[in-house]
Structure 1
């Protein structure tokens, strides 16, 4: 390194800004400086969550800021089908025209809004307000419906409140036993592994539940390789053994819970021999794990998408919550139940109004008192607020239909890759009268748009996010956006003005939006009233609920009670129902999807970063050696993977880390490599979560790829 280079690096250090990674819900702190063309990045050792650690995606995140494919001007679909640059004025006028023409012809509900767990709290709040006040439509949901909805519904039903981790991350390092279900932290959230490493160095035990022996499973001491989709049976089996062997905390159950008698009666049907047949987990392993959990001085049960992205996702999570309650874990330091939020603002994004059935502060949209309160904050009559809308997949399935959405406004989501049965969704998007997409790249979804609006990236905007433990953090602006690029708050406020509702959207900054969010959430379950930017900065984040400026925030929930009508948690009957599709003669294998280390979500960002794309240029189909031999497949072969909905091509990766009856494919690629084209859109009846994790599939060697 030359003297000049060293001086430039030191200057970047001196003038760097403390902000946060744009990717997962761990929300690592980082120091960012330099310029978008030559960024300088370092992990923020002062931020107590990641303590300076970053994963490969975090280290390379700034490379998207000055990317050659960055959108810098609005685009409009021309009569000849091309997307060509237009001015902002023309683009916004066109958006307003499409909205008004659609609503005049088909009614208010014919315009829909689709948001994202990547938006800041301010953007998510404002998007919900824009839909319900500026558009007067109930048709709003977001891609977090495909992520945390099952866990959220389960925790609300059991505890009266959903906060992914109702305890601080530090509790993980203190737990004597951790049962980690359906999550590969080592690849999806690598800096979190430092807590599990500390836990194990202190003598703690990590037990994983996963059809794959993932990198995380290999780092633990015990691994239960269950049949895909059998989580409820496994959890019920654990509860059966705990009751049978007298290992439950009867004093806690009596004092702090309800409905245990019904759960006990249900668990009687899940004797270990039956559970072994349903799950493939040997009886002795199930018994050993139940005893390890019960004998530990402190224990934590965590679920991830593996258990939650199923047709019975809510049931699965409630079944594991039953185990945690039976052991008296919830509300104790170093113990409890939690769910690992995935998207960057997956927690805050589901709290403040961009869900179909929700108002800010986790208020329900069908609650008259909640409607009256929010109407007062917004200065309107409660009767003007729409009611509940369709959930994400149901709204997307309605696109272009006579009684469905005809004009869709998308902010921060790549539906063509991330939605289940994605070919069907692509067909529905094509049936729209108009599609408006806000993005910074021409994603697979933006390529289909009528209007594309170029918006800011993470390092070019200010706002707050809420990480997986409920800590509200401050994303600081580091760089000014490129000329011609607007931030989402400006886009929404200007559209509202042109729609005649500008008086309700006077915001000039994220801070001004946050001040209204504080008032709108006050008194709700997710109460941010006592949180300010200054308080966040002073304390490296503030845990909600925080109802007043004097309140310190709430790192640990449920210590003294639950926010339910009687202050008690509730057991549930959680009978195993099986996945929506079982393997048969035509489709003899299970297919499961997930994430890998090098890419994130739909891959719209990470596939544009050379280092990450070089490491993982295409999706690989993981298959067991025995299964590969049966199907005449070898390492690196090009194969055709098919389900009842669609097919995809992929190369074979042979590994003993997967069950013989299961295939695994990451979902970060689009077009013909999009595995979500194959997944089953069957929905959980409560959360409306699609069944991404389990469907029936077949595989064959592809001898003629062109065909």
Structure 2
């Protein structure tokens, strides 16, 4: 039996894996504190791809004729495939420079693979053009957290702290379906007398667990947060001592919310003024009696062109009430992807180096280059963000080649038809995956790689807890790890340094590269993770507080389960209040597109569905269009009838699902299948570069 972690969401639920003949059995790991043995249906069926008929076990290459026409994918040896990729990359770099080659990573890669991919891009390829699909996960919360709190860690406290809150505000989260084992914390909170508030345009299973459900017009969440802070200020409920001692910038924010009275909020959001007052009164009364208020945001309020401003506005509310830094209180973000947190800490993002360092910082460049054994001046600068990178593919000034690891862009990118056209314009598309996803099917070279149970590596969950997935079985013959793929390509490209393939060796190097950075992993080892059920970063190699008469010099750092108790991440230790101004969604309904379209997940599927749609035990319902009975009557449609949803970018056809749990002016489409993201808007948040997945103008017809 091997202890490991689920291959899906950011909870990284603990599980046991046991070989039973040729199959792999998933069992409960009750000692792991995050899920205490509980798993959702995706976790229990996680071994479903083992031996699947669609599993890739040999490289595939696509021959091109002299006229540029593309043939069919055919089997190839590993040497042929890697030689072909290296030769084509070398030629493209020689013709147009290193930035003619790009790399696209994923929030599902282990820390080791994400770290090595960033190093590969900057050292072996010399390109600045690297980003990852985690840019579409929680970059708005990351941007806001960095600006307001000085540090980005999804939850600055253990997940179990949720149970200790007296009031929990979930803004844009359907926790009961996206991370079901975590929903028990909502139940326990309510059992001890706490209250749960859910802000979502749909009445989801999470909203069914709430004491108060507010359903704003999609794209207006910022106005609600501004209105709540207006009422906190008007009631004289600001914790002035906390604000004076631990923050800066509040006077400007205080002035900025004076016009956001409840009736104005109602006109903008569609939430009744009395409901806005009810939420504010709940927060104010809780704080007045010394209670704990916690605000958690998720993709529903973050995947907007004003997503980072919306998060900042909710952080302003939490700071005004004096909550961040208290146990069972404050602000946090519910990360989505399995390694959405660790994936952005160690070099996959266009602007970052390992340890959450900025690539534009000379000291950071010098430190990381020293670990890598290269000249700091050889490292490229900041590249394009994820969508901007994809939009530039195949253009005169953009990359001609793209290497994709662990991402199914054709399904997951906004304005996906346009992105697919950009992929088709490339001279070379290389995809490393375990199945022939929609993106891999377009590739010139497909490299078959290991899945989660066939490799060892670390992940960083939504709490900042670094955990260890352990190999439980041997990969199929012909399959390699991403680390082996990266090393093989680096050698063929004449990399100035070698790339290790042993994950524990790579993790040790990651620790050295991250040392001294905001996300310091230098005190974390595989043995510590096994012994402690994970280690929270930052965790430097030694604990300065342990020196002197009360402790031995050089004692190991214990890790940091809770941040901000004494100081925030800015150099002066203070949090920042930041003014936000409401603009609304980039695309508003009109006569031709009179409805709001929003997208999201369903319980039985995950991300682009490349894996979960192939697990027979999971319900593959296909896409659907969720709409209110009032809208269904206007359209003359009934449940199950086919509908066409159109936006300015495309159209899709799917059966109607008529429910009373969605706003009458809104339709919902899940994004796990091809179609939904052909509709979504590629407008970007100016700070985070997050696309506006969660709202655009749409028309629906029978």
TM bracket (short chain): over 0.9
Match of 1:247 among 225, 237, 247: 237
SS at match of 2:141: helix
Q: What does residue 662 of structure 1 align with?
A: 666
Q: TM-score, normalised by structure 1?
A: 0.95
Any runs of at least 4 consecutive aligned residues in structure 1 with deviations exceeding 4 A, and if so which?
none
Q: Does 1:51 align with 2:36?
A: yes
Q: TM-score, normalised by structure 2?
A: 0.96
Q: Does 1:358 align with 2:352?
A: yes
Query: Counterparts in 2 of 1:520-559, with a 5 A limit?
Result: 520-549=513-542, 550-559=556-565
Q: What does residue 111 of structure 2 align with?
A: 121
CA distance in 1, matches of 2:420, 2:92: 20
Q: What does residue 704 of structure 1 align with?
A: none
CA distance in 2, matches of 1:341, 1:360: 19
Q: What does residue 93 of structure 2 align with?
A: 103
Aligned length: 680
SS at match of 2:538: coil
CA distance in 2, matches of 1:131, 1:68: 33
SS at match of 1:683: coil
Task: Say whether the 8 Å CA contact 1:226–1:280 is kept in structure 2.
Answer: yes
Q: What does residue 563 of structure 1 align with?
A: 569
Query: Counterparts in 2 of 1:135-154, with a 5 A limit?
Result: 135-154=125-144
SS at match of 1:610: coil
Query: Counterparts in 2 of 1:533-682, with a 5 A limit?
Result: 533-549=526-542, 550-612=556-618, 615-670=619-674, 674-682=675-683
Task: Say whether the 8 Å CA contact 1:378–1:504 is kept in structure 2.
Answer: no
CA distance in 2, matches of 1:646, 1:427: 13
Q: How far has the Cα of 1:271 moved from its partner?
A: 1.1
Task: Say whether the 8 Å CA contact 2:372–2:497 is kept in structure 1.
Answer: no
CA distance in 2, matches of 1:402, 1:109: 12
Q: Does 1:299 align with 2:289?
A: no
CA distance 1:36–1:329, change in 2 (3 Å): farther
SS at match of 1:452: strand
SS at match of 2:81: helix
Q: Does 1:193 align with 2:183?
A: yes
Q: How far has the Cα of 1:98 moved from its partner?
A: 1.3
Q: How far has the Cα of 1:375 moved from its partner?
A: 1.1
Task: Say whether the 8 Å CA contact 1:36–1:479 is kept in structure 2.
Answer: no
Task: Say whether the 8 Å CA contact 1:438–1:455 is kept in structure 2.
Answer: yes
Q: What does residue 550 of structure 2 align with?
A: none
Q: Does 1:448 align with 2:438?
A: no
SS at match of 1:229: coil
CA distance in 2, matches of 1:502, 1:542: 33
Q: What does residue 73 of structure 1 align with?
A: 58
CA distance in 2, matches of 1:197, 1:347: 26
CA distance in 2, matches of 1:380, 1:225: 53
Q: What does residue 8 of structure 2 align with?
A: 23
Q: How far has the Cα of 1:532 moved from its partner?
A: 0.5
Task: Say whether the 8 Å CA contact 1:242–1:294 is kept in structure 2.
Answer: yes
Q: Does 1:273 align with 2:280?
A: no
Task: Say whether the 8 Å CA contact 2:373–2:497 is kept in structure 1.
Answer: no
Q: How far has the Cα of 1:503 moved from its partner?
A: 3.0
Match of 2:168 among 163, 178, 197: 178
CA distance 1:451–1:368, change in 2 (3 Å): same
Q: What does residue 415 of structure 2 align with?
A: 421
Q: How far has the Cα of 1:611 moved from its partner?
A: 2.1
Match of 1:475 among 436, 461, 469: 469
Q: How far has the Cα of 1:40 moved from its partner?
A: 1.2
Q: What does residue 88 of structure 1 align with?
A: 78
CA distance in 2, matches of 1:46, 1:609: 27
CA distance in 2, matches of 1:433, 1:35: 45
Task: Map Cα deviations across residues 247-274 of structure 1 (whole Å, 9 max, x no partner).
Answer: 1111100100000001001111211110
Q: What does residue 515 of structure 1 align with?
A: 508
Task: Say whether the 8 Å CA contact 1:36–1:62 is kept in structure 2.
Answer: no
Task: Say whether the 8 Å CA contact 2:647–2:679 is kept in structure 1.
Answer: yes
Task: Say whether the 8 Å CA contact 1:21–1:28 is kept in structure 2.
Answer: yes
Task: Say whether the 8 Å CA contact 2:366–2:376 is kept in structure 1.
Answer: yes
Q: What does residue 207 of structure 1 align with?
A: 197
Task: Say whether the 8 Å CA contact 2:228–2:276 is kept in structure 1.
Answer: yes
CA distance in 2, matches of 1:114, 1:508: 20
